[in-house]
Structure 1
Amino acid sequence: MSVEIERKFLVKNNNYKKESYAKKYIKQGFLNSDKNRVVRIRIADDKAFITIKGVSNLAGTTRFEWEKEIKKSDAEDLLLLCEPTIIEKTRYLIKADNHIFEVDEFYGDNAGLTIAEIELDTENESFKKPNWLGKEVTGDVKYYNSSISKNPFKNWA
């Protein structure tokens, strides 16, 4: 088990696509989206994973995470058991100094939503903010993937 420290932001424009050095298609679902323990199944291109995440700290920046690679065929079977809705997105990787931003462009019921995340070594670590980075939404549960699977972006006012 490890501790994940990350910050989350909305994205203002598509300039991140020009800065991206890699991208992958992701399909994921949640076997359990309880706020105390989220169990996610993810297929990212040809690899598949089961991930368990614990509850976030008050700031929403830190939580425990356990992840294990599984066979893609097992993940496809497990996706059939997941809660509604399956999330589909393209993840773009962008290097910014010593950090990597992961920018997720969502499809289907979440089309129009684009979120950037950056993993940090400490909660107060400084980092370069690209010009396409928008409002910070770290700790806002509404933007968690487990939340947008239940209340998709298309339903937001």
Structure 2
Amino acid sequence: MKDGAPFMTVKTSGASDYRMVRVEVEFAIAEDVFHRLWEVAGDRLSKARWSVPVGQHTATVDVFDGDLAGLRLVEVEFGSVEEARGFHPPSWFGEELTGDAAWSNRALAARPHPGAGKRTD
């Protein structure tokens, strides 16, 4: 759900610059389709999402609950690899995790992460 409406997001990683470049497509879906997909989705995440301005960019901050309570992840999307490489994150972002598949939503949903609930930065 996004802004109270059901939608689907499909993400693929690019061939180069592993996990730094990907195609992301979002589209609205009917509510009944959402509920049918949700029933068969298997592993799930529960989180609140916040948008935070960071200079010329917007950081998306995910605050997890449930088995991952206490975990916070930050993501910033860029128009190019060069723009991403030139970005200097503020200290509150914590450790850089780009390219570490263990921190992907898919991996986190499949199993609670050993670091969940321990990060406080």
TM-score by length of 1: 0.64
**Residue aligning to 1:39:** none
Compute the displacement of 1:128 (Å): 4.7
Identity among equivalent pairs (%): 29
Do residues 147 (structure 1) and 114 (structure 2) align?
no
Alignment-mate amino acid for residue 61 of structure 2 = V
Q: How does 1:98-137 map to 2 (within 5 A)?
A: 98-125=56-83, 126-137=86-97
More helix by share: 2
Tell me how many residue pairs correspond in the alignment. Answer: 112
C-alpha RMSD of matched pairs (Å):
1.8
More strand by share: 1
Distance 1:45 1:67, change over 3 A: closer
Query: Which of 55, 59, 66 pairs up with 2:25?
Result: 66
What 5-or-longer segments of structure 1 have no aligned partner?
Answer: 1-42
**Is the CA contact (8 Å cut-off) linking 1:49 and 1:70 kept in structure 2?**
yes
Query: Which of 57, 60, 82 pairs up with 2:41?
Result: 82
> Which protein has greater RCO, CA pairs closer than 8 Å, 6+ apart?
1
Alignment-mate amino acid for residue 75 of structure 1 = F
Compute the displacement of 1:140 (Å): 0.3
What 5-or-longer segments of structure 2 have no aligned partner?
Answer: 116-121
CA distance in 1, matches of 2:37, 2:87: 37
* Partner SS, residue 80 of structure 1: helix
